[in-house]
Amino acid sequence: MESRAKGLEEGYAKQQEQEELKKKLESRDRELSETFAELGNELAPLQRKFKTKEQEMKQSRAHSSDMEGKMRSTLNDFLNDVKSFRGLTSAIDAWVQSDEPQQLEIITRQLSEVADRIVGRKKDLEQVTA
């Protein structure tokens, strides 16, 4: 009987230790849950800020891409105008050698058209870079 009582006492003591350990673990679990909740509350504004910055960066990239496209287009237009001027230079040289008055009118009109296009391109470039 004594050994049975001793066994029950040991079982009870072990059960008490397990209960105590369980309480400590539950307490630690609550503490960690509270800590995680606090960290989550601190992290939320940082996450919002990060998303805002990320959105701003995407918008900036899109705007830069649009600007680059407009600038590239304006540059190509200028290059085409330079080619037109070079072609007119050849036409002027030919006119000087032939001395035909009709050619002078055609060349003058073409020069005026190219000059007008360049003025328009300059305005486009000013708008793009403004």
The whole domain housing 28 covers: 2-129
| Residue 99 backbone class (left: φ over 0; alpha: ψ -120 to 50; beta: rest) | left
Contacts of 88 (CB under 8 A, 6+ apart): 107, 110, 111, 114
Helix or strand or coil: residue 99?
A: coil
Our count of domains for the chain comes to: 1
Q: Is the pLDDT of residue 83 over 90?
A: no
- Tell me, yes or no, if the pTM score tops 0.75: no
The per-residue pLDDT for range 30-64, each reduced to its tens digit, is: 999 999 888 888 888 989 999 999 999 999 999 98
CA dihedral 80, 86, 90, 93 (to 10 degrees): 140
Query: What are the φ and ψ backbone dihedral angles of 100, each rounded to 5 degrees?
Result: -100, 120
> Over 70: is that where the pLDDT of 74 sits?
yes
